């Protein structure tokens, strides 16, 4: 089933950032969002993931199908790598964590506490979490931060495998991942948002 975004307007703290955003994400396809810092990519992703309400427009086909990964990985320093993954797998009603460990080269670290990992290793664990959710739509916010070149390749492979299995990905990133994907530049939607006006406009 497609994820369809129609005429979506999103904002933060009462200030509209993007408006008129429309796209369709089909199984097996990836969409890369581009735009400078502060242009509203994160807000758009959070809105699609259902974490904050849209100012206008609709997102359909995304409920209960999204695996969201942002700057913070939600890892617990006191738990081991495999415990962290097992927890998230259980939350999403899954049990397999070995493929995820293998895909991000974490097998050797499985018994290490997450607090003892380097920034890049933590990031890999955070991304491996996506694989144990069993969800079809990956919504990723700057997934490659603090990853080295080899890990970026691993990540791209994981995304490709996910797409090949009929999954979808919506990615905000600055670097070229080498994945065949549609590109959506969000800067074009900013001018439309300016026309929407501040949430306090009712007071004028």
Partner 1 sequence: MSLWEYANPVRFLGLSERVMPWLWAGAALCLVVGLVWGFFFTPDDFRQGSTVKIIYLHVPSALMAINAWFMMLVASLIWIVRRHHVSALAARAAAPVGIVMTLIALVTGAIWGQPMWGTWWAWDPRLTSFLILFLFYLGYVALWEAVEDPDTAADLTSILCLVGTVFAVLSRYAVNFWNQGLHQGASLSLDTEENVADVFYVPLLVCIAGFVLLFLALVLYRTGTEIRVRRTRALIAREARGGQAERA
Partner 2 sequence: MRALFFRDLALALRAGGGFGLGLAFFLIVVVLVPFSVGADVTLLARIAPGVLWLGALLACLLSLDRLLAVDWEDGALDLLATSPLPLEGVVAVKAAAHWVTTGLPLVVAAPLFGVLLNLAPAGYGTLVLSLCLGTPALSMIGAFGAALTVGIKRGGLLLSLLVLPLYVPTLIFGAEAARRAAEGLDATTPLMLLAGVSGAVLALMPFAAGAVLRVNLR
**Residues near partner 2, by CB under 8 A:** 49-53, 64, 66-76, 78-79, 83, 86-88, 90-93, 129, 133
Region binding partner 1 by CB under 8 A among candidate stretches 7-15, 34-42, 76-84, 170-178: 7-15
Q: Report CA-CA distances (Å) from 105 to 14, 151, 201.
A: 42, 9, 51
Q: Between residues 12 and 34, which has the closer beta carbon with respect to partner 2? A: 12
CA atoms in the 13 A half-sphere facing the CB of 22: 5
Q: Considering the rule CB under 8 A, would residue 53 count as an interface residue with partner 1?
A: no
Q: Which of 26, 96, 146, 191 binds partner 1 (CB under 8 A)?
A: 191
Query: Least distance (Å) from partner 1 to the CB of residue 94?
Result: 34
Which one of partner 2, partner 1, none interacts with residue 75, CB within 5 to 8 A by kind? partner 2
Residue 144 carries which DSSP code? T
Residue 61: which of 163, 136, 127, 112 has the closest Cα?
Answer: 136
Which one of partner 2, partner 1, none interacts with residue 108, CB within 5 to 8 A by kind? none
d(CA 4, CA 61): 6
Region binding partner 1 by CB under 8 A among candidate stretches 38-46, 91-99, 175-183, 196-204: 196-204
CA atoms in the 13 A half-sphere facing the CB of 4: 5
Give SS3 for 110.
coil
Which one of partner 1, partner 2, none interacts with residue 53, CB within 5 to 8 A by kind? partner 2
Displacement of CA 120 from its chain's centroid (Å)? 17
d(CA 21, CA 57): 8
Number of residues that bind partner 1 (CB under 8 A): 13
Q: Between residues 28 and 38, which has the closer beta carbon with respect to partner 1? A: 38
Is the C-alpha dihedral spanning 42, 47, 48, 51 positive or negative?
Answer: positive
Partner residues linked to 168 by β-bridges: 137
- Token pair for residue 22? 């429309």
Which one of partner 1, partner 2, none interacts with residue 93, CB within 5 to 8 A by kind? partner 2
Q: Considering the rule CB under 8 A, would residue 15 count as an interface residue with partner 1?
A: yes
Which one of partner 1, partner 2, none interacts with residue 194, CB within 5 to 8 A by kind? partner 1
Interface residue list for partner 1 (CB under 8 A): 13-15, 191, 194, 197-204
């Amino acid at each position: 089933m497609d994820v369809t975004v129609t005429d979506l307007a999103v904002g933060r703290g009462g200030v509209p950032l993007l408006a008129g955003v429309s796209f369709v994400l089909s199984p097996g396809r990836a969409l890369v969002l581009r735009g400078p810092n502060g242009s509203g990519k994160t807000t758009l992703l959070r809105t699609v993931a259902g974490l904050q309400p849209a100012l206008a427009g609709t997102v359909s086909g995304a409920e209960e199908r999204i695996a969201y990964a942002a700057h913070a990985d939600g890892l617990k320093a006191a738990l081991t790598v495999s415990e962290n993954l097992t927890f998230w797998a259980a939350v999403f009603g899954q049990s397999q964590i070995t493929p995820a460990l293998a895909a991000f080269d974490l097998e050797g670290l499985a018994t290490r506490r997450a607090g003892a990992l380097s920034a890049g290793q933590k990031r890999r664990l955070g991304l491996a979490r996506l694989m144990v959710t069993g969800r079809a739509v990956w919504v990723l916010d700057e997934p490659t931060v603090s990853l080295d070149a080899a890990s970026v390749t691993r990540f791209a492979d994981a995304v490709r495998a996910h797409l090949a299995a009929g999954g979808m990905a919506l990615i905000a990133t600055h670097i070229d991942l080498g994945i065949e994907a549609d590109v959506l530049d969000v800067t074009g939607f900013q001018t439309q948002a300016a026309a929407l006006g501040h949430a306090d406009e009712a007071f004028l």
